[in-house]
Amino acid sequence: MNALIVKKAIQGDKKSIARIISLIETQVQVGIQTTEQNIPVIGITGPPGAGKSTLVDALLDLYVQEGKRIAVLCVDPSSVLHQGAILGDRIRMSRWFNHEQVFIRSLSSRGSMGGLHPFIAQIISFLKSCPFDLVLIETVGVGQSEIEIIRHANKTVLVLVPEAGDEIQLMKSGIVEVADIFVVNKMDRPGSSVFVTQLINMLKSTFSNKKVCPTAASKGEGIEALKKTIDT
Ligand SMILES: Nc1nc2c(ncn2[C@@H]2O[C@H](COP(=O)(O)OP(=O)(O)O)[C@@H](O)[C@H]2O)c(=O)[nH]1
Ligand SMILES: [Mg+2]
């Protein structure tokens, strides 16, 4: 039975893809024999409320217009504290749930034993065997577990908001090394340009290859430039 589901999944049947992910998640040996394609995996991480889901939503718009097929994994911490955020994501992403070019799936970042979800790598690998042009992974936070998830990505976008003091914590967290693109979202907020300048200066000395993209995701500003940066 699994063989048939796998066959349908790699042909792009979303119900079968969801089914396989559930099997992997519940540690069922699926025995998947698939071939991973060279599909770009983009990680989008940052603190809760920074605007990751709003950005993903805006990016999906652009990629869908291009005719791309996109898989989105939302990796949420199991913590009850974040359930409001997950619900918010559902509402924001709702227009994509039934879109034929988009597959969206939420995952817990924790396995049943409380450790880091052990099957994320397997799930990403499986998605790369399905007919997608791009895999987007949204993860909450800038902690160690998120960094681990992000290591599976080809490119990582760190979403920040213009609030002073964040930079120092960032430097400590280790995410600066892992991130390729720094988004400063909520550019409509006061002080945002100063923050961008500070960030560029901070990165210039040690990480000159990192890109900074200012956006106002809820207004659709800076999204095209961000997409271009992601695609190149
Ligand atoms: N002012 C402002 N608010 C934004 C912007 N982008 C997102 N938001 C709001 O910030 C809140 C959190 O956004 P969300 O995408 O759920 O953040 P996430 O937790 O990082 O996924 C929501 O109320 C959004 O409408 C922006 O560019 N400017
Ligand atoms: Mg979100």
Q: How far is CA 27 from CA 3, 23, 122, 156, 202, in A?
A: 17, 6, 11, 27, 43
Mean pLDDT of the chain: 84
Strands ordered across the beta sheet of 181-184: 102-108, 70-76, 134-140, 41-46, 155-160, 181-184, 211-214
Token reading at 227: 């997409």
Supply the pLDDT for residue 77: 60
Residue from 106, 193, 218 to probe ligand 1 pocket by mutation (most atoms less than 8 Å from CB): 218
Please list the alpha-helical segments (H only) found in the chain. 2-10, 14-25, 52-65, 83-93, 120-127, 144-150, 166-173, 175-178, 192-206, 223-231
Torsion over CA: 33, 113, 88, 49 (sign): negative
- Summarize the confidence of residues 157-168 as an average pLDDT: 76
Per residue in 215-225, pLDDT (tens digit) is 999 999 999 99
Instruction: Give the pLDDT of residue 48.
Output: 82
How many CB atoms neighbour CB 16 within 10 A? 18
Helix, strand, coil percentages in the chain from 3-state DSSP, rounded to 5: 45, 20, 35
Q: What is the pLDDT of residues 65-83, one digit of tens each?
A: 999 999 999 886 654 445 5
The domains found in the chain, sorted by start residue, are 2-28+36-231 (3.40.50.300)
Amino acid at 57: D
Name the β-bridge partners of 121: none
Model confidence pLDDT, tens digit, residues 188-228: 999 899 999 988 988 888 888 899 999 999 999 999 999 99
Confidence of residue 115 (pLDDT cuts 50, 70, 90): low
Q: Which residue has the tokens 């003091």?
A: 165
Alpha carbon of 52 to ligand 2 centroid (Å) = 5
Question: What's the confidence (pLDDT) of residue 216?
Answer: 98
The rounded Å distance from CA 217 to ligand 1 centre is 7
- Name the residues around ion ligand 2, CB cutoff 5 A: 52-53, 89
